[in-house]
A = this chain, B = another copy of it.
Amino acid sequence: MARFLRNNEEKEGMPPGSLVFTGQQKVAEPQIRITTYDNSELKDEDIKKYQSITSHTSSDKVTWLNIDGVHDSSLIKTIGENFDLSLMALEDIQDTGQRPTIQEYQDYLFATMKVINTGSDEENVRAEQVSFILGDNYLITFKEQPSLIFEPVRKRLFKQKGKIRQKGPDYLFYTLLDCVLENYLKVIERIGERIEDIEEEVIADPKPEQLEEINFYRREIAYIRKSIRPAREIILKVNRIDSEYIDESTAPYLKDLTSMLEQSLDSLEIYKEILGDLFSTYNMSIGTRLNETMKFLTIFATIFIPLTFLAGIYGMNFEHIPELHYKHGYYVLLGLMGAIALVMLVYFKKKKWM
């Protein structure tokens, strides 16, 4: 199955705005959590059966609605109706294979981004879509499955009467974006460490497994780059947006995100280059090593060639080969052979062939 481009054939022939889940279902039941807070109060509840938002929220508080699992089209639709969202946005939430995007609507801002999941060291990384809907006094987030990526923010909401509780949903949006970009840095750093390890291993002792790893990480980095590069446009657009749902005091925080993202992309670029260099270096080390072996064998054989020739000479059956009748002929010849071998060895040493 193509990891780099996943088309949604399920949707063919449907009108734009049809709600169809096109990814791989990663959670049995969508998990819904509503957090409402203001400076003084915070309410955080898991909801089993989502019906309407009105019973859980009030207009003077910030509402954060988080849904883990986006395969349930009817749920998405209900939420869409509650918040009066465009069908286009709802469709994008369920189309998890698509490119990150950002769109301004009349009353809210819609953005999707990718989170990079790494399992154990052996597995491929996988990008998962996170969608944000930022309205006047609410923020809705959709993830493909429960994950801990937003937990630090939730903890901060709980633990302290800090800035986040005094500010609006735009600031919450910023802190969550910050989490997503942190995630990129973390994933890239982990891969980067492994790559720098491989580098040392390749120089010390090149092995075919390293080549496989090099190719593996080349794919990983191409995949991550493809997933996070569009985020650049999104962050840029968020920075440029002159919108009612982004408070002016949050703007400087948003600017900081660009720098974080650029750092991720710079590093990816460098690791890509390093892997290219590693491939060449590996290739060359292997070649050199093999050639050294061949050279040794060839030299070894070369030394015996004139000796065997000499033995052949005195194995001939001519009637008149005077040397054959010398008393010490045999020993003289053995001595000569040793001398020849020695001279050749010295010559090869001098030529630095050994």
Contact = CB atoms under 8 A, between A and B. Distances in A.
A304 B308 CA distance: 9
A219 interface: yes
Contact of A255 (B4, B103, B189, B295): B103
Q: How large is the interface on A (under 10, 10 to 19, 20 to 34, 35 or more residues)?
A: 35 or more
Interface stretch (A12-20, A33-41, A43-51, A56-64): A12-20
A227 to B, nearest CB: 10
Interface of A: 1-7, 9, 12-17, 86, 88, 98-99, 101, 103, 151-153, 155-156, 160, 162-164, 174-175, 178, 182, 185-186, 188-189, 192-193, 196, 203, 208, 211-212, 215, 218-219, 222, 226, 229-230, 252-253, 255-256, 259-260, 262-264, 266-267, 270-271, 273-274, 277, 279-281, 283-284, 286-288, 290-291, 293-295, 297-302, 304-309, 311-321, 323-330, 333-334, 351, 353
Given A103-B255, A306-B304, A329-B318, A267 B186 contact: no
B16 A175 contact: yes
- Copy tally for this chain in the complex stands at 5
20 contacts: A1-B193, A4-B270, A15-B160, A15-B164, A101-B256, A101-B259, A203-B215, A219-B274, A226-B266, A277-B279, A280-B283, A297-B298, A301-B305, A309-B311, A311-B312, A314-B317, A314-B318, A317-B321, A318-B333, A320-B327
B315 A17 contact: no
Contact of A316 (B12, B253, B311): B311
Nearest to A313: B311
